[in-house]
Amino acid sequence: MLSFLIKSSQRIRAMLKLHMTKERQKWMEEYKKEFIGFMIDSKALKFGNFTLKSGRKSPFFMNAGAYVTGNQLKKLGEYYARAIHDNFGLDFDVLFGPSYKGIPLAVATSMAISDLYGVNVRYCSNRKEVKDHGDTGILLGSSLKDGDRVMIIEDVTTSGKSIEETFPIIKSQGDIEIKGLIVSLNRMERGKTKKSALEEIQAKYGFQARAIVTMPEVIHALYQNPYKGQVIIDDRLKASIDAYYKEYGVR
């Protein structure tokens, strides 16, 4: 009888775990679709012909500078805060946003983390040039000190070049642990090797890199699926994206 009860209890726990997993997956699917729509509405994600910082010619472009209203920044901070919470937890001290686009991301997300989870993290960014008067130094916002645990926040990483610039600035401030990198969109294309830029960052620097959504998820959500009455990714655009990934996609 005892054995039967134990097995029954185990089956119930397994069923509940499976149910919770399915519910979470369903929630994440809706959450990502919502974020994709938010990027489109805010004109942060565009399709056309663009030259990237890396020099690549791309049929799509992600620009966090398009989030310009208080409401947009509030929502964006909430998306990032939830993604950080779900992927890394909140066991860190400082949210670092590389200048310039990372500055409003770090500010909005630190506020959202406080509002959603009641956790206060400091925000920090770097200047492009060292300031030699007044509030001197290379950093804006909070200073960094020995023992600080830092989360880096960016809009998108294509080649990993921005992290090459950011990493030494952070590490030069003291004995600091970088907990991870969060971006809004993983473009899922090669960096300097056959791996994606985020995978290269993980391998080179030893911390995890995550995204709110990936470009394949964006394509899956928008290809031949009308959004607010408009097909954003049609056959012609899909062919252009496919050609781009044939040349630059992760292999």
Q: Which tokens go with 49?
A: 């012909």
H/E stretch holding 40 reads helix 2-41
Question: In one letter, which amino acid is 35?
Answer: F
Question: In one letter, which amino acid is 165?
Answer: E
C-alpha to C-alpha distance for 194 and 248, rounded to whole angstroms: 9
Distances in Å between the alpha carbon of 216 and those of 117, 170, 225, 251? 30, 32, 14, 14
Distances in Å between the alpha carbon of 169 and those of 64, 108, 126, 214? 22, 22, 8, 28
Q: Quickly tell me which residue has 């642990």 as its tokens.
A: 177
Q: Which residues are catalytic?
A: 131, 133
C-alpha to C-alpha distance for 1 and 201, rounded to whole angstroms: 54
Is residue 230 a contact partner of residue 47, using CB atoms and an 8 Å limit?
no
Q: Which tokens go with 25?
A: 């997956």
Tally helices (H) and strands (E) across the chain: 7, 8
